[in-house]
């Protein structure tokens, strides 16, 4: 287990059994990290569900038509009317117009009944929760959401264990290339998830839920909604790895920045196809997913060009030293 705490050196020689032991140790550490993160996520499952439900609640609050929205608006209007009626009855009970104690008591009781009826009605038209249809669906959905968040929390540990296991296969030059790229993976993944949650999901869910909503009783089922959210965020987190893939290909000499610029049009078409294949095939979601991917592709070309210039400058600086040493 101690070998799993640090990468093994490139020059170390391990037997097949030792490699399997190292793999087992790293899998155990990854499983323990996921289990601890799952326990934390399950403990805070109410907060996590509120986070995931917020885009749908915002879409429901912005919905202006539909039978369910009209009913919610009617209940809100009824609540306000009952509150106003209760206040009026309470004031009337304290006024001098009511002279008998029995009438005052009856008005106070009526005012309390109005207030109780008003408290039983919703305070706003927003905030409807996703619905569950099966007996065990609330439990299964809660466990699924907790597992998604646990994987996100444990991702740095899991990636480090994967990196430390494959690191001995690279020489020192390859390790200098691989290490910065591996450090970029979790950062870009979290950035993609955050972009999907704050930028892509709200307008996408609003468009899908409000499309022709006056002809439907729009109910949001929990399992398909959470699957849509999870797949969208995971896909964006993975697609945000474009700079890592491009930089890796350029550092390995498979492609060059010049070839990437020449194939820019084909790359844009490929990005559009990938965006249409992602969850939520509506034009709003597709456009919101295409824009950052194209920007990341262009950024990758700039980074690859900059690294190429840096490498060429270093080679030019080292070349006179090599020539002088050969002359001696």
Domain boundaries, position 87: 61-119
pLDDT at 44: 92
Any domain includes 129:
no
How many structural domains does the chain have? 2
pLDDT at 15: 66
Give, for all 328 residues of the chain, the pLDDT tens digit: 444 455 555 455 656 677 688 888 889 999 999 999 999 999 999 999 989 988 887 766 554 455 556 666 677 788 888 888 888 888 888 887 777 888 888 888 888 988 888 888 777 655 567 888 888 888 999 999 999 889 888 887 887 787 777 766 666 666 666 677 777 888 888 888 888 888 888 888 888 877 776 777 677 888 888 888 888 888 888 888 888 888 777 877 778 888 888 888 888 888 888 878 776 666 777 787 788 888 888 888 888 888 777 777 777 776 655 544 444 4
Find where tokens 């996921």 sit.
34
How many residues does the structure list for the chain?
Answer: 328
Q: How far is it, in rounded angstroms, from Cα 41 to Cα 47?
A: 9
Q: Please list, in sequence order, all residues whose beta carbon lies within 8 angstroms of the beta carbon of residue 147, skipping any fewer than 6 positions away.
A: 38, 41
Are 35 and 94 in a shared domain?
A: no
- What is the three-class DSSP state of 132? coil
pLDDT at 130: 83
Are 162 and 14 in a shared domain?
A: yes
Q: Dihedrals φ, ψ of 217, to 5°?
A: -85, 100
Contact 125, 76 (CB under 8 A): yes
Are 98 and 33 in a shared domain?
A: no
CA–chain centroid gap for 156, Å, is 16
Are 167 and 223 in a shared domain?
A: yes
Q: Please list, in sequence order, all residues whose beta carbon lies within 8 angstroms of the beta carbon of residue 251, skipping any fewer than 6 positions away.
A: 177, 307
Are 18 and 84 in a shared domain?
A: no
| Nearest-10 crossing angle of helices 137-166, 222-239 | 20
pLDDT at 134: 82
Tokens representing 226? 């959470």
Q: How far apart are the first and last CA of the chain?
A: 51
Are 20 and 92 in a shared domain?
A: no
Any domain includes 44:
yes
Are 158 and 252 in a shared domain?
A: yes
Q: Dihedrals φ, ψ of 171, to 5°?
A: -80, 180
- What is the three-class DSSP state of 175? helix
- What is the three-class DSSP state of 221? strand
Contact 36, 158 (CB under 8 A): no
Q: Which residue from 149, 197, 199 is spatially nearest to 48, judged by alpha carbons?
A: 149
The three-point CA angle 207-58-41 to 5° equals 115
Distances (CA, A) of 177 to 191, 194, 246: 22, 27, 12
Are 68 and 39 in a shared domain?
A: no
Q: Please count the CA atoms within 13 angstroms of the CA of 272 that sit on its side-chain side.
A: 7
């Amino acid at each position: 287990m101690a070998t799993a705490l640090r990468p093994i050196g490139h020059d170390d020689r391990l037997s097949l059994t030792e490699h399997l032991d190292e793999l087992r140790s790293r899998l155990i550490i990854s499983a323990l990290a996921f289990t601890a993160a799952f326990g934390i996520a399950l403990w805070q499952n109410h907060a996590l569900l509120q986070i995931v439900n917020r885009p749908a609640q915002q879409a429901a609050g912005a919905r202006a038509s539909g039978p369910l929205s009209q009913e919610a608006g009617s209940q809100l209007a009824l609540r306000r009317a009952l509150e106003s009626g209760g206040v009026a009855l309470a004031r009337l009970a304290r006024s001098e117009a009511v002279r008998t104690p029995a009438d005052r008591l009856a008005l106070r009781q009526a005012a309390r009944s109005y207030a109780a009826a008003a408290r039983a009605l919703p305070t706003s038209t927003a905030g409807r929760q996703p619905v569950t249809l099966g007996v065990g669906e609330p439990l299964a959905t809660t466990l699924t959401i907790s597992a998604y968040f646990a994987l996100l929390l444990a991702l740095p540990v899991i990636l480090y264990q994967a990196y430390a296991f494959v690191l001995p296969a690279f020489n020192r030059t390859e390790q200098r290339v691989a290490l910065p790229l591996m450090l970029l993976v979790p950062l870009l993944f979290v950035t993609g998830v955050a972009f999907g949650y704050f930028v892509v999901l709200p307008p996408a869910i609003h468009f899908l839920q409000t499309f022709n909503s006056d002809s439907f009783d729009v109910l949001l089922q929990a399992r398909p909604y959470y699957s849509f959210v999870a797949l969208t965020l995971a896909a964006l987190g993975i697609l945000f790895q474009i700079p890592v893939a491009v930089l890796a290909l350029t550092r390995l000499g498979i492609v060059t920045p010049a070839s990437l610029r020449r194939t820019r049009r084909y790359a844009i078409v490929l990005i559009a196809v990938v965006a249409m294949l992602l969850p939520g095939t509506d034009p709003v979601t597709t456009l919101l997913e295409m824009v950052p991917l194209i920007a990341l592709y262009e950024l990758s070309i700039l980074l690859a060009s900059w690294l190429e210039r840096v490498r060429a400058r270093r080679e030019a600086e080292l070349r006179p030293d090599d020539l002088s040493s050969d002359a001696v």
